[in-house]
Amino acid sequence: MSIQSDLEMLAKQEALLQFDKFDASTAWDLGCALRAVAEAKSAVVAVHIQLGEVSVFSFSMVGTTPDNNEWLRRKRNVVQRFYRSSYAVGLGLQQRETSLLERYGLSVTDYAAHGGCFPIRVKGVGVVGSIGLSGLAQRDDHEMLVEAIARYLKLPYEDVRLPAE
């Protein structure tokens, strides 16, 4: 596994995992699907889906803390700023040996370039929101999102998953 190969797969994920439409009903269905994936893996996570500036789904499993919601906010800010997954932004910065603060002047108080937030793209429209997850290691946060989105879109997860570390 290399950062470059992961970045290539992350770009593929973002290109393929797009919705025909996305509204509050879609958010509910996707959020519940993500919760089911987490429960099946015995993962303790917090989930947040935002459409524009509106929170349309939020769920925190027993065992999460307010810190999980803070991580979600900071990762969501990265997606809203760059229209990329927070993991892709983080790996890109790592590859360049820089940080959000050094490259863009963005404070870690408000931005976290760590895996776990993914842009919601609607075909022909662009990014309309984000879906975030917090509670696992950053790569695992990211991959759980990708798995749930791929399954929701009826795409084979195996075609878009990151290689094992």
Angle at 72 between CA 71 and CA 74, to 5 degrees: 65
pLDDT higher than threshold 90 for residue 164: no
Q: What percent of the chain has pLDDT over 90?
A: 97
- When the pLDDT of each residue in the chain is averaged and rounded to a whole number, the result is 96
- Cβ neighbours for 73, distance < 8 A, ≥ 6 positions apart: 110
Give DSSP secondary structure letters for 105-136: ---TTT---SS-EEEEEETTTEEEEEEEEESS
Q: How confident is the model at residue 165 (pLDDT cuts 50, 70, 90)?
A: confident
The alpha carbon of 2 is separated from its chain's Cα centroid by a whole number of angstroms, namely 20
Between β-strands 54-60 and 117-122, what pairing exists: parallel, antiparallel or unpaired? Answer: unpaired
Q: How confident is the model at residue 1 (pLDDT cuts 50, 70, 90)?
A: low
121/98 Cα distance (integer angstroms): 27
Enter the tokens of residue 29. Answer: 């269905």
Where exactly are the structural domains of the chain? 3-158
User: Buried b vs exposed e over 19-30: b needs ≥16 C-beta within 10 Å?
Assistant: beebeeebbeeb
Question: Which fold does the domain 3-158 belong to in CATH?
Answer: Beta-Lactamase (3.30.450)
